[in-house]
Structure 1
Amino acid sequence: MPVPDIFRIKICGLSDFENAVAVSHSGADAIGLNFFSQSKRCVDLDTAVKIANTVRGEVQIIGLFVNAAPSEIEQTHQQVGFNWIQLHGDESVEFAQAVHQSTGVPILAASRGSLIRWATLPDDFHPQALLMDAAVPGSFGGTGHLSNWDLAATWRTMPHLKHLVLAGGLTPENVSEAIRAVQPSAVDVAGGVEVSGQPGVKDLTKVEAFVTAARKAFAELPKE
């Protein structure tokens, strides 16, 4: 399976069908479906399949897993059909490689508060993209805390890292500053565009403001 072009703007943690379809029409490039059962944004499989079958071709579909068994990831992919598989737990490089080989799907490997784990990698496998999230003890993400932008900005000095997706506490108000500071390949938001008190349901006005601000900031980055 060819590696898809890296997306620019990902809206993650969608769990409501109609809301997910509306978000997919907002100008975002990708949506994230969270299959971590302990997450307040976990989506049930039937809804995920319905969302994917409806928006496929409009946005890239990312399946998020946290320390899941390889068989669970493979079976979920077979039913939903992902463009990327996001490993957001404590998965090893070897685990990521095995999932990539068994599914043929590119890997988005999450790192919380550090790039060290993915900075030195074996020559035979590098995740297709790295996601930088905030480090919060006892949490696997989605906390609303800001990630370390200064640290994230060092990703370009690491030759094995092809793409960086910046996550952690992003909002319509700060995403432009984050993009200028880090110059990531893409940005990822969940709680920063949600309806208050409704995890997994996005406020479309906030989503559209986030997309507009992010696109403008990306367009203003120096050309490589």
Structure 2
Amino acid sequence: MPVPDMFRIKICGLTDFENAIAVAHSGADAIGLNFFPGSKRRVDIDIAEKIANFVRGEVQIVGLFVNATEGDIRQTHQRIGFDWIQLHGDESREFAETIYEELHIPIMVASRGSLSRWENSPGSFQPHAFLMDAAVQGAFGGTGQLTDWKLAATWQGVPEVTRFVLAGGLHPKNIAEAIQAVRPSAVDVAGGVEFSGKPGIKDMAKVEAFVSAAQGAFAQIKTS
């Protein structure tokens, strides 16, 4: 099964239908729906299904899971229909391969700071994309902490990392600098485009500013 073209700009952690539709019309390439029970941005599956049915074909739909079971991921995909599966916990290489072999959906694996956990995981499966998030003790992302850009830039030299998504602490005012410094394949934002104190609800002024700045930065590094 061919892997879809990699999105460039992903807005993650959507929880409200009308807000998600506005985000899908903002120029972003992908939206992330978070199904981790421990997340403040967990989306209700009925709302997620409604969002997916409305935006399908307009943006890519990414399902985010943290240490979920194979059955949970399969059942959720059957209802939503994802373009990508994002494994954002401590999942092994073998687990990622199992999910791909069963669902035939591209797999994006998140690492918090270092690739060492993944590199030491047995097996030969190579994900279709890696995502770097900030390393915060006891957290699986969504902290708003800034990722180490110098460390992130070193991922460009790792043969296994053919597609690389930068996340962690991004917002409209630093996204252009981040793209210039790291040169990722794509960027991912959640809290950096939200209303203060309202996890999962995006401030459309911030979303549009983020998308515009990211698009400009990607265009610049493409021609440089």
Report the TM-score, using the length of structure 2 for normalisation: 0.97
1:87-126 aligned at under 5 Å gives the runs 87-119=87-119, 124-126=124-126
Residue in 2 that maps onto 1:25: 25
Separation in 2, partners of 1:118, 1:67: 14
Residue in 1 that maps onto 2:84: 84
| Cα displacement (A) at 1:30 | 0.2
1:2-21 aligned at under 5 Å gives the runs 2-21=2-21
| Cα displacement (A) at 1:34 | 0.2
Residue in 1 that maps onto 2:145: 145
CA contact (8 A) 1:121 1:160 kept: no
Identity, in percent, stands at 67
Query: What is the RMSD of the two structures over their aligned residues, measured on CA atoms?
Result: 1.4
Separation in 2, partners of 1:157, 1:176: 22
| Cα displacement (A) at 1:181 | 0.6
- Is it true that 1:216 corresponds to 2:216 in the alignment? yes
Offset from partner CA, 1:6-26 (integer Å, 9 cap, x none): 000000000000000110000
Count of residues in Structure 1 that have an aligned counterpart in Structure 2: 224
In structure 1, give the amino acid aligned to 2:138: G
Separation in 2, partners of 1:70, 1:123: 18
Separation in 2, partners of 1:155, 1:223: 21
Offset from partner CA, 1:164-196 (integer Å, 9 cap, x none): 100000000000010011000000000000011
* Unmatched 5+ stretches in structure 2: none
Separation in 1, partners of 2:121, 2:127: 9
* Unmatched 5+ stretches in structure 1: none
1:127-206 aligned at under 5 Å gives the runs 127-206=127-206
| Cα displacement (A) at 1:121 | 7.5
Separation in 2, partners of 1:70, 1:119: 22
In structure 1, give the amino acid aligned to 2:56: R
Residue in 1 that maps onto 2:55: 55
Offset from partner CA, 1:108-135 (integer Å, 9 cap, x none): 1000011223457778420000000000
